[in-house]
Each structure stands twice: as structure tokens, then as C-alpha cells.
Structure 1
Amino acid sequence: MKHFEPAAALGTAMELFWRQGLEATGIQDVVAATGVNRSSLYATFGGKKELYMAALRRYMDEHATPAFAALAADDRGLPAIAEFYDQLVQQRCEGRYARFGCMIVNANAGPESADPDVRQVLDHNQESLVAAMRSALERAAELGQLRAGLDPGIVARTLAVTAYGLNLRSRAGAAPDELRAIATVLLESFTDPRHATPPPEAAPPRRNPTLEGRTSQ
């Protein structure tokens, strides 16, 4: 009979691995964070690697997969990708998980990426992101938003790699405005000039009543 909630313990372990990575996290760190003793952790999840794999899959289920599904289902084309980037920056730079980066991207940059089991999960995530980007790009092409002659497959991979880069820079403490500017410039490079629009954050010019009063006299 378990005297702890496995799902809650896994969630805590996920955040620990997310923040610190596999190599820097010892099983005693997990014991301290979860309040669950070693024998119970081993009996429930297996060794540290098995626990990490379960945490990595949970991260995908809770954070990556829903975001990719929303992007693929959005029929706005390039604005959908712009919103994906904007939400990525917001989530990485604000709130509870600020400067955690992305657990998947962190794993790609860490020694754990050499493990075949971990690599399989990371590659699956990469292909899922590329597929979601490609879906949005195909819709953008249908709407006439893309420059002529672009290869949607290559562009999709470029956008996916950029998302990885934004995650790494956010973990290093880059300013949100810097990250958003990078995403904006990239998307503009793929946009048909006839469909270029101002950024959604752009506000109309502020009126100056004093100046208007002078010019009307």
C-alpha cells in the first residue's frame, strides 16, 4: 500500500529534472523534493533513469503535445506561428517556470541526449514540432502569405530550430523583447510582402492634444 500519490511525486520530480537535468539531479534530490523515500521511489518508478523517462514523457504530455496540437489546428497560417512563439516566450520568461527553459531542449543540450531511449523521445518531439509547423505553413501557403519558391519542409525545420534557440536563450536570461524580435524578423523573412502586417502588439500613435491645438490655430 502506497503512502504517497505517485502522480504528485512524478510531477515534483519532473520539475526537478526540468530545472536541473538528469546528470545534476541525484536520487537524494528527488527524495528531498518529493518527501518519498528511496525504496518507495524505486518500487514505483524503477531507477533514476526510469523516473527521468517517466518525467520526460509527462512533460511532453502536459506541455509540448498540447502546444503542438493547438498550432496544427489553427487555420490562420503565419499568425498562428507568431502566436506560438509569443506564448513560448511568455511561458519561458514569466511566472512559475521562468528561466526553466524547455525540458526537451535542455535534454537535447545535455549529456542525457546520448542515451538511446532519451534520444528516441527527443527525436519524436522534434518531428512532432516540425509537423505542426509544416501544417501551419501549408495553411499559410493556401492563404498566399508565404513568399514564392519556399520549401515548406525546410522552413518548418528552420522554425522548429528557432523555437529551440529561443528556449535556450530564455534559460540564459534573455529579455522577452529580444526573443520576440528574433521570431518576428524570422517570420517576416518568409512572408509575401503583399501580406505583411504590423506586429499585433503595435499600438496606434498617441494623440498630443497640445500639439494638435497649436497646429489648428
Structure 2
Amino acid sequence: MPDVKHFEPEGVLGVAELLFWRQGVAATGIQDVVAATGLSRSSLYNAFGGKDALYVGALRRYVEHRSTPMFSRLAEDRRGLPAIEDFFSRLVSVRCRGEFAGWGCLVSNAHLENPSGEAKTVLDNHQAGLKAALQSALETAAELKQLRPGLDLSATAEHLTLLAYAINLRSRAGASPDQLKTAVAAALSPLARDPRRQGR
């Protein structure tokens, strides 16, 4: 049996992540990965078990390296609403500027391709992690009395989760930073306690 471990699997996953992110899974064949990595088709299949497994690995890598750090930063930020505002500001910036501007989010893009099995599990876990981070920040905001009374924190966290996915998809479709920031402001403004009632 040939040795297929002479290359670094993490590096191959990094290449596959970028291919799937930019092109989508349906438009990316195993030959694209072969061309991008210089590896043989047999080496890729022996190491990863095929395109579907490689895709799942790329999704997991994306979540681990790109999504989870943002979620953790939000959940650990004790400023409440300003932390949520900063999260969305960073999200808009990442989606609209820099090397990956216009690519959207690999996970959000994946939802459009109706994944199943392990890929769907990765997507579901991503959604749960994002909602949990947003709900944690909302709970902090409630403790700091920044939110209007009676707000359903779980439903609001779900709403903001959907807003994040919408930003990912609309940025890929060419929405401008100003358009996305306006949508964020419209979603966050009704959450805040009336400034005239502060201290009452």
C-alpha cells in the first residue's frame, strides 16, 4: 500500500476549504482539489475517503478556525449590546472587505446546497453555536438593563442568528456595507431600553 501520509492533511483541507467556499460543493470536483494540491486522486481518496468526506472536513475546519473564535469572543464579551453591535460590525467588514470579500460564509453558502448527513450536522451545530453566543450577549445586556422590558431573549437570539446568515448571503450577492449596516441598525435599535427611561 502506498504511503499517503507524506503530505499534511490539514494543508489539503485548507485548500479544499477555499475551493468549496469560493465555488460551492456542487461546482467543485475532486479534480479541482487534485489540480490545486498537486496530489493524486488516489492519495486524496485514501486519505479522506472521497469528496463528501473532504467537504465535511473543510466545513469543520472553517467552523473551527473562522466561526468559533468569533462566537467565543462574543459570548465572553461582558458589554452587552455594544458587544453585539461590534460582532455585526466585524461580520459586515469581513464579508465586504479584504481577501474574501464577496465570498459570503462557507456555512451559509452550504445551506443553499441542501446538505445531508455529517455536513448537515456541522451546519446545525454552527447555527446552535451562533445562537448560543448571541443569547449569552443578550443575557448580559439584560443584566446591565440595556434591553427593553419583556424581551424574549431566545426568540431575539434566533432573529439575530438569521440576520447574521442574511448578511452572509446578501454580501455574496453584492450588497454594500452601508446596506448591511442599515439592516443591522434596524434590527438592534428596537431591542434597547428607551434612553429616556434610563435610571428609572
Q: 2:159 corresponds to which residue?
A: 158
What is the alpha-carbon root mean square deviation over aligned residues? 1.4
Aligned to 1:123: 124
> For each residue in 1:44-102, what CA deviation from the matched residue of structure 2 results, as whole angstroms up to 9, or x when unmatched?
11100000000000000001111100000000001101111011111111111111111
Structure 1 residues 98 and 195: CA distance shift in structure 2, 3 A: farther
Map 1:196-211 onto structure 2 (within 5 A): none
Asked if the contact 1:145/1:195 (under 8 Å) is kept, the reply is: no
Any gaps of 5 or more consecutive residues in structure 2?
none
SS in 2 for 1:166: helix
Structure 1 unaligned residues grouped into runs of 5+: 197-217
Partner of 1:204 in structure 2?
Answer: none
Partner of 1:200: none
Structure (1 or 2) with the larger CA radius of gyration: 1
Q: Are 2:31 and 1:28 aligned?
A: yes
1:107 aligns with 2:139: no
Task: Report deviation, 1:5.
Answer: 2.4
Distance in 2 of aligned mates of 1:151 and 1:51: 39
Deviations 1:97-126 (A, max 9, x none): 111111111111213x2x122111111110
TM-score by length of 2: 0.93
Distance of 2:124 and 2:165 partners within structure 1: 13
- 1:46 is matched with 49
Change in Cα spacing, 1:195 to 1:95, as seen in structure 2 (3 Å) is farther
Counterpart Cα distance in 1 of 2:106 and 2:176: 20
Tell me which amino acid in the other structure corresponds to 1:86. Answer: S
Distance 1:99 1:110 in 2: 18
How far did residue 142 of structure 1 move?
0.8
Quote the residue 1:7 is aligned against: 10
The CA deviation at 1:3 is: 3.9
Instruction: Classify the secondary structure of the residue corresponding to 1:145.
Output: coil
CA, structure 1 residues 95+195, in 2 after alignment: closer, same or farther (shift >3 Å)? farther
Question: Hey, what's the Cα distance between the residues in 1 that align with 2:6 and 2:73?
Answer: 37
**TM-score, normalised by the number of residues in structure 1:** 0.86
Aligned length: 194
Distance 2:192 2:126 in 1: 26
Given candidates 86, 89, 114, the residue that maps to 2:89 is: 86
**Aligned CA distance change for structure 1 residues 16 and 138 (closer, same or farther; 3 Å):** same
Structure 1: distance between partners of 2:72 and 2:103: 22
AA aligned opposite 2:24:
G
